[in-house]
Structure 1
Amino acid sequence: MVVTCEINLKDNPFDVYYAGQLVSGSVVLNTDKQRLVNAIVLEIKGFAWTYWTENTTDFDNKTTSNSYSGHEDYIKSKVQLLQADGENVALEPGSYVYNFACQIPSVCPSSFEGNNGRVRYMVNVKLIRPWKFDQVFSRPFTVLKVMDLNRVGLCLNTPAYSEDQKTYNCWPCRSKPLKLQLSLPQKGFVPGQIIPVGVLATNDSHIRVEEIEATLVMMVIYYSQFSVETINERFVVSRKKGEGVTRNCKKQFTLDLPVPATPPTCFDLCRIIQIAYQIEVVTKVKGWHINDRVHIPVTIGNVPLTRQLTQQPRQSPIEVEVVAQQLDEKALVLVDDVPDEARVPVTNPWAVDSSIMPPSYEEAVHVRAYGINASKSTDSQKSYNNDRETPTSTQKTFDNENCHFIPLYSVFNMVNPAENGMKEDIDHSTWI
């Protein structure tokens, strides 16, 4: 039997933490016979990483491959669980339990997994063995930046409007315009909400619009740390289709677009990965004509807008300020086990407002839909909410740092302000 290791996180059945909270847990090592090790190290890491390659071809048809990468640390702290005085020390048969605690910095980006980079947080246990490769046990967990839509100062509770028009063919056969007008009741949303996308399509052209489609698009920019090169990704995280518009007609749509489990908007907490969102509406026409498109940027957070909070700003239990932070290498400490009745309950960012019900937690939809880091999910990567089973102490611990991981994001049970929470897959349209 080899050495086994269980990494357990306490007081958090979903393994989801907000920036500024405390991660605590235990490491249980088991071995059935004596093992020689140089050291056993416990570490907590939080980092952003990007990597991609691009091929270029010169005039001689010679292809060159260029690699770009970036790395940024947010947590990097470790302690020695066992250390040899000389070359190595004997790990006797038995079970060893170590309790730990680590403060998450108040300024750090949310967990994210993409095709060209990630933001990941994890607990690692390393067995440094003589004449052998290190044996590493890892347990990723989700960290979420506090994105309170009532405090970001962008007037997210105000309506938004955008329009565009398009003509078909060239002069002198140019058609009259197809005009699209897009409107939203507000500019900030959280997962679990329904976005009532208002679309007014005025088709004065001679081209029939076959279909109108509204999407919520997540746009990710990955940066290289050592050059000015970037690479972009687009993920359609939600989609709703509407009927077409015949020639010389006008039609008003309301497309209810759900916001699924997805990471918060992030511009300022990570220098190598940025995440933004926009609502896009596209008219689809047949033939060689180019589709018309109109969009509005939106902000996705994890503390929803409420009338009480927008009228009277309040103090948040976790203050988030964008300031330069140095890594605290001593943030991780070993502690004595604290009895359950003596533990202080975790304060979540929405807890100051009793009108906000606690969210459930679900896997990131873009990871599942686009096959990111494609491999089979393990027992500890299920979607959990308040009514489903929660992980137990027997949960599997991953045996390497590059394991497949799907972050969990908060999803609120909120109603659609315009349609009283209707979520059926239809559009609400009216001929004008």
Structure 2
Amino acid sequence: MQHLGKIRRFALELAGGPAQGVYRGGELLAGQVVLELTTGLKVRALEVCARGLATAHWLESRSVGMNTVYSDYSAYEPYLRSRYQLIRDNGEVTVLQAGKHEFPFTFQLPETLATSFEGRHGNVRYWVKAKLHRPWSVVKKAKKEFTVIEPIDINTPALLAPQAGVKEKLARAWYCNRGQVSVSAKIDRKGYTPGEVIPIFAEIDNCSTRTVVPKAAIIQTQTFIARGAKKQKKSVVASIAGDSIAAGKREVWHGRALKIPPVGPSILQCRIIRVEYALKVCVDIPGTSKLLLELPLVIGTIPLHPFGSRTSSVSSQYSVNLDWLRMVIPEEPEAPPEYSSVVSSEESAQNLSPPCQDELGNGLEGPFFAYIQEFRYRPPPLYSEVDPNPTSDSIRPRCMTC
């Protein structure tokens, strides 16, 4: 116990990445191990290691006769494993004098990493751990986690391509045909960033004898993969509802706005964890399952360049100037609807149970505070009544009366 009194502080400090402690693949991870001693200390070795790991895990139960059998599904995907010796163990003891000691270190991050993520059945985590080995004492450890965000640039042809679709459904009640309901929808591109507004263009034709209600929602799907099996969790992150459409009527959405809240970006490169988004336009038909039309979305990290596209779509009106990755806590968002309110009953049965309200709130906890930004709309150009190109006296027009 006398050895423990010699150490006043043993901690890890990171220098911070280019974006306030957030790193990406290929960058340098720099920091230092801080050791404060009240008296001299004998040390055998001091090492620091950097780790990155994706983990998926869940349990499934099934009945076999009178018994319940549980199946354990686990999978791991390593992304980072590096070690650095600050004081080598060469068989001799190193004596550190009283005072403060700083041991700097650097790690080269791999070019390809998965974005940090915390989910119900898995996570992607990165951390640095220091270990202090002393004679006749337990190993003293210090740990520091850090966040990795892999960039997704929406200024690419694939993510700038428009997305459109058409769906129709027969409204039935007690095996009687009540008419047909159809919906066609379009959005101007596939890639968006948090804080942007998605203008939705849609036409809903209600040729049935019932009054229907159109809705639109952004759905997040988390997929966990292990041992050939999949586990999914779906939740609604934002939604809007249209006006009721009477029988035989049509409603047209001319760019109905749906704002994307602060959510984590899409994760598409990890083999065991995927985070995907979709825009679902649904029509609630009384007495019949919902009519659903799904358009894929990709939530990126690099916003649309104001001069990167010459498209004349309405979305240019909604372009925003993002201060990406600023650690600003947003206002309390409005509670989203239940997942069951925007999906059909048969689709709900194929997927998992609808999410709870607290599950959606977990998306803003932990390292995902790195995704929270402050969004500002671009100001209009300055207006002036002064002609910037006045007519000179030398070319003044001749008076006709002279």
Decide: shared fold, TM above 0.5: yes
Identity of aligned residues (%): 24
1:140 to 145, 151, 165: 145
Please tell me whether the aligned partners of residues 261 and 408 of structure 1 are also in contact (alpha carbons under 8 angstroms): no
**Distance between the aligned counterparts of 2:125 and 2:75, measured in 1?**
14
Tell me how far apart the structure 1 counterparts of residues 17 and 190 of structure 2 sit (CA, whole Å). 34
Deviations along 1:317-369, whole A, 9 cap, x unmatched?
xxxxxxxxxxxxxxxxxxxxxxxxxxxxxxxxxxxxxx976424357999985
Give 1:68's aligned amino acid: Y
Summarize the alignment of residues 71-86 of structure 1 with structure 2, pairs less than 5 Å apart.
71-86=76-91
The answer to whether structure 1 residue 57 and structure 2 residue 56 are counterparts is: no
Matched, 1:409 2:371: yes
Residue 360 (structure 2) aligns with? 370
Question: In structure 2, what is the equivalent of residue 32 of structure 1?
Answer: 38
**1:193 touches 1:414 (CA, 8 Å); kept in 2?**
no
Partner of 2:326 in structure 1?
A: 361
Name the CA shift for 1:356/1:371 in 2 (closer, same or farther; >3 Å): closer
Structure 1: gaps spanning 5 or more residues: 312-354, 378-403, 417-432
Equivalent position of 1:263 in the other structure: 264
Aligned to 2:303: 304
Which amino acid is 1:293 matched to?
L
- The structure that is helix-richer by fraction is 2
Matched, 1:223 2:188: no
Cα separation, 2, equivalents of 1:182 and 1:122: 44
CA 135–149 in structure 1, closer or farther in 2 if over 3 Å, else same: same
After superposition, the Cα gap between the structure-2 partners of 1:49 and 1:104, relative to the gap in structure 1 and judged at 3 Å, is same
Over 3 Å counting, the alpha-carbon distance change for 1:96 and 1:292 in structure 2 is same
SS in 2 for 1:370: helix
Letter paired with 2:218: L
Aligned counterpart in structure 1 of residue 112 of structure 2, from 107, 112, 131 = 107
Find the aligned partners of 2:277 and 2:262 in 1 and give their Cα distance.
13
Gap change, CA 1:176 and 1:73, over 3 Å in 2: same
1:165 aligns with 2:168: yes
CA gap 1:13/1:305 in 2 versus in 1, 3 angstroms: closer
State the AA in 1 paired with 2:257.
D
Q: Which residue of 1 aligns with 2:197?
A: 194
Q: CA deviation at 1:76?
A: 0.8
RMSD after superposition: 3.3
Distance 1:235 1:132 in 2: 49
Relative contact order, CA 8 A, sep 6+: which one is greater? 1
After superposing the two structures, state which structure 1 stretch, 25-34 or 15-24, moved more: 25-34
Shift in alpha-carbon separation, 1:245–1:3, aligned structure 2, 3 A: same
Asked whether the 8 Å contact 2:116–2:367 carries over to 1, the reply is no
Q: For residue 426 of structure 1, what is the aligned residue in structure 2?
A: none
Q: Distance in 1 between matches of 2:233 and 2:135?
A: 43
Question: Matches of 1:409 and 1:203 in 2, distance apart?
Answer: 40
Task: Give distance in 2, aligned partners of 1:277 and 1:373.
Answer: 14
Deviation of the 1:141 alpha carbon: 1.6
Structure 1 residues 360 and 307 mapped into 2: Cα distance closer, same or farther (>3 Å)? closer
CA offset digits 1:164-219 (Å, max 9, x no partner): 1222225762111122222111111112211112232222222222x433221221
Counterpart amino acid of residue 261 in structure 1: P
Any idea what the Cα deviations from partners look like across 1:41-89, whole Å, max 9, x if unmatched? 211112211111111112x131111111111111111112234444876
Aligned residue for 1:118? 123
More strand by share: 2
C-alpha contact (below 8 Å) 1:113/1:407 kept by paired residues = no
Alignment partner of 1:204 is 2:203: no
- The runs of 5 or more residues in structure 2 that have no matched partner are 311-319, 334-354, 379-402
SS at match of 1:408: helix
**Equivalent-residue separation in structure 2 for 1:410 and 1:373 (angstroms):** 11
CA contact (8 A) 1:214 1:239 kept: yes
Report SS of the residue matched to 2:73. strand
Farther-moved stretch of structure 1 (299-308 vs 71-80): 299-308
TM alignment of 1:259-298, pairs within 5 A = 259-267=260-268, 269-286=269-286, 288-298=287-297
Matched with 2:386 is: none
Change (3 A) 1:99 1:302: same
1:292 Cα deviation from its structure 2 partner = 2.0
Moved over 6 A (4+): 363-368
**Alpha-carbon distance in 1 for matches of 2:117, 2:186:** 29
Q: Do 2:10 and 2:33's aligned partners in 1 also have CA atoms closer than 8 Å?
A: no
| Residues 110 and 13 of structure 1: CA distance in aligned 2, closer, same or farther (over 3 Å) | closer
- TM-score, structure 2 as length reference: 0.73
1:263/1:242 CA distance change after superposition, 3 Å: same
User: Residues 52 and 373 (structure 1 numbering): CA distance in 2 closer, same or farther, change over 3 Å?
Assistant: farther
SS of 1:361's equivalent?
A: coil
Q: 1:32 corresponds to which letter in structure 2?
A: T
Moved more, 107-116 or 355-364: 355-364
Seen in structure 2, the aligned counterparts of structure 1 residues 258 and 36 have a Cα distance that, compared at 3 Å, is farther
Superposed counterparts of 1:312-351, under 5 Å: none
Contact kept in structure 2, 1:191 and 1:412, CA below 8 Å: no
User: In the aligned structure 2, how far is the partner of 1:372 from the partner of 1:87?
Assistant: 49
The structure number with the bigger radius of gyration is 2
Render the CA deviation track for 1:220-270: whole Å, top value 9, x for unaligned: 21111xx21111122322223333223322112343222233333333x32
